[in-house]
Amino acid sequence: MRRKQITALLVTGAMVLGTISGCSKGTAATGASSKEDGGIKEFTAFFAVPGDEINDDNEIQQHLAELTGAKVKETWLTGQTAEEAVGTLIAGGEYPDFICGSDGTSQLYDAGALVALDDYIDDYPNIKNFFTKLEWEQLRQADGHIYWIPQFNNSYEKDMQTTHNDEAFWIQTRVLKWAGYPKITTMDEYFDLIERYQEANPTMEDGTKNIPYTILCDDWRYFCLENAPLFLDGYPNDGSCIVDLDTKKVKDYNTTPTAKRYFQKLNEEFKKGIVDPESFTQIYDEYITKLSTGRVLGMIDQWWDFYVHVNDALKQQGLEDQGCNYVPLPITIDKGVKNRWHTSGDTLNVGSGLSITVSCKDVRGALKFVDDLLSEEAITLRNWGEKDVDYLVDQDGLFYRTPEIRMKVSNTAYKASHLCPYSYFPVWTGMSQDGINAAKPELQPNEFLDSLPTNVQECLEAYGCKTYVEMVGENEIPGPWYPIYTFVGTMTTATPGGTAWIKMRELKHEYLPKVVMAPDFEAGWDEYLSAYETCNPQAFLDEVQPEVDRRIKIAEEAAAN
């Protein structure tokens, strides 16, 4: 009996300890290393965004290693949010050499995980020239140092934008073609068109049922559901709130009359079976799979959120010929409201970028690599690929691709084994430094047009457009505060406004789908409004307003000097 008791005691002990140790959260971070391998330095990088890992023996990565003397093993976000991944790294205290924290950038800064770059930048001409002096100033944090280099939206020479890389109501070209390319400018017209098409053509050519309209609502990607009222009222993408273009006052878009009309419309369409019943329970992968089958007629999304996987899949399956590609429409709530879905010009996202961490043992080596990656030769390798393999050059020096090459470079296996864009390292867009070509194939006017599926070409032509951008029209950057989401992204629970912002997000995640699915819309909407008020949204708005004012003031001072 006694022995039995002792055994039992040991078992219990072990169990209790097991329970207790459950709360010590350790994680093995990717060990920072910059080991030398045949003269080639190796760095590690983590990007807190989803991405595709490339093979270890990737061919262009090898070319770039010979060119720059270094290579980087990139890892991406999988199945977590950026904040979770970054929070776990901070708890572990070990970081990869390079990091892009995305939504978790301010946490990295708060944790002292990043190396201040301002003392180094002058020694690396390509990095230094990547931004103007004023832009570098804007990147300084509260402590006066620069910790990250924003990678995107930086055009060399001139803006060559051909795609609308932002949010829009998208629609398949087959729907527009069927209706004879009508002019669609309001939300009601948009859904009316989808309804009519769906009634006439309930299935695809092979008999698969269409999904008329789907809404991605997975985690942070629920912008596809929630921020349309902002655009419908004709405001540009400030992201988390409206900044009134005249008064420069911050306003909430979650409770406007337009928001109510938008959600009421979705509610009606949900009851009619137009809105995909799985909208609010599908995860991102399921959503992308749905779009890739060509079944979905329309949705709201950001172009960057779907185009890579979806367009390549449509191409590989031959669904381009059935008109399954998406084009954006300039939708607003009523006729006469000016749409601002597209803002042209470079918007500097001061909220996140590429950083070097305190775990990096060779900061200069790391910066040299970033600097080398910005050279003309490196950028061409990253964006266009290998000469005569991934692109050809005509007698004028213009790069172009053949249909066979385009098919090849959209193949997933080929992308992993051959192409290496180092896409989360700083990169020029716009023109190439050779002065002839565009920095990327999709920006090269002739290549862009030739690479478009016939159906999209026909559609753009019918609307008198040459690019996707012309479908929605261009707008100037509205003011120096724009976009204010770069500030909101840095708010944390440390302030009442930040806490309110997180509570609002969480509440909308639950209540907005409920509103859309509500049997009685009015009751559902009232329930949402009263729950929304408990989050104290005013505290959030009150903290954003001073930042808008501050940014305007800085710009005015800079202009005066």
Binding positions for another protein, rule: CB under 8 A: 2, 5, 8-9, 11-12, 14-26, 79, 81, 83-84, 87-88, 90-91, 93, 107, 110-113, 217-218, 222, 277-278, 280-281, 283, 286, 492-493, 502, 506, 509-510, 512-514, 517
DSSP 354: B
For another protein, the closer of residues 356 and 460 by Cβ is 356
| Amino acid identity, position 291 | L
Report yes or no: 169 and 296 within 8 Å, Cβ to Cβ. no
Alpha-carbon Rg for the chain in angstroms = 25
Write down the least CB distance from residue 181 to another protein, Å. Answer: 32
Q: How far is the CB of 16 from another protein (least distance, A)?
A: 6
Residue number with CB closer to another protein (88 or 410): 88
Q: Pick between residue 101 and residue 426 the one whose CB is nearest to another protein.
A: 101
C-beta closer to another protein: residue 48 or 459: 48
- Do 270 and 191 contact (CB within 8 A), yes or no? no
Choose between 17 and 134: whose C-beta lies nearer to another protein. Answer: 17
**At 169, which amino acid appears?**
F
Which residue lies nearer to another protein by CB, 142 or 559?
142
* Tokens standing for residue 112: 């002292």
CB 512, min distance to another protein, A: 8
Q: Tell the smallest beta-carbon distance from residue 221 to another protein (Å).
A: 11
Q: How far apart are CA 71 and CA 366, in angstroms?
A: 10
In the complex with another protein, the residue whose CB is nearer, 337 or 517, is 517
* Both structure tokens of 415: 């992308």
- For residue 308, the SS3 value is helix
Output the CA torsion 205→209→210→213 (10° steps). -170
DSSP reduced 3-state for 300: strand
Q: Work out the angle at residue 129's Cα, subtended by the Cα atoms of residues 125 and 135, and round it to the nearest 5 degrees.
A: 135
- CB 41 to another protein: min, Å: 28
Count of H-run helices and E-run strands, the chain: 24, 15
Task: Locate the DSSP E strands across 270-380.
Answer: 296-302, 326-329, 355-356
The residue whose two tokens read 């040299």 is: 368
Neighbouring-strand partners of residue 74: 45
Q: How far apart are CA 133 and CA 116, in angstroms?
A: 17
What's the CA gap between 431 and 415, in Å, rounded? 23
Cα distances (angstroms) measured from residue 529 to each of 12, 145, 319, 324, 502: 50, 42, 43, 38, 17
| Minimal distance, residue 174 CB to another protein, in Å | 22
CB of 110 or CB of 123, closer to another protein? 110
> What's the rounded Cα separation, in Å, for the pair 500 and 254?
14
The continuous run of DSSP H or E covering 213 comes out as strand 211-213
If the CB atoms of residues 25 and 158 are measured against another protein, the closer one turns out to be: 25
Contact 313, 410 (CB under 8 A): no
Cis peptide before 483 (omega within 30 of 0): yes
**E strand segments, 36-91:** 36-37, 40-47, 70-76
CB of 134 to another protein, least distance (A): 29
Please state the three-class secondary structure of 298-360 as a single string: EEEEEHHHHHHHHHHHHHHHCHHHHCCCEEEECCECCCCCCCCCCCCCCCCCCCCCEEEECCC
> Which CB sits closer to another protein, 78 or 247?
78
Of the two residues 59 and 286, which places its CB atom closer to another protein in the complex?
286
Provide the minimum distance between the beta carbon of 48 and another protein in the complex, in angstroms, as a whole number.
Answer: 11
Q: Token match 């089958």: residue?
A: 293
CB of 1 to another protein, least distance (A): 10
Instruction: Give the tokens for residue 95.
Output: 């970081």
Specify the amino acid at residue 176. Answer: L
CB of 113 to another protein, least distance (A): 8
Residue 557 CA to residue 561 CA, distance in Å, equals 6
Q: Which residue has the tokens 């002065």?
A: 435
458 vs 527, which CB is nearer to another protein? 527
Pair of tokens at residue 376: 């003309």
Least Å distance, CB 105 to another protein, is: 12
Shortest CB 377 distance to another protein, Å: 40
How near is the Cβ of 101 to another protein at its closest, in Å?
A: 11
**Nearer to another protein by C-beta: 2 or 183?**
2
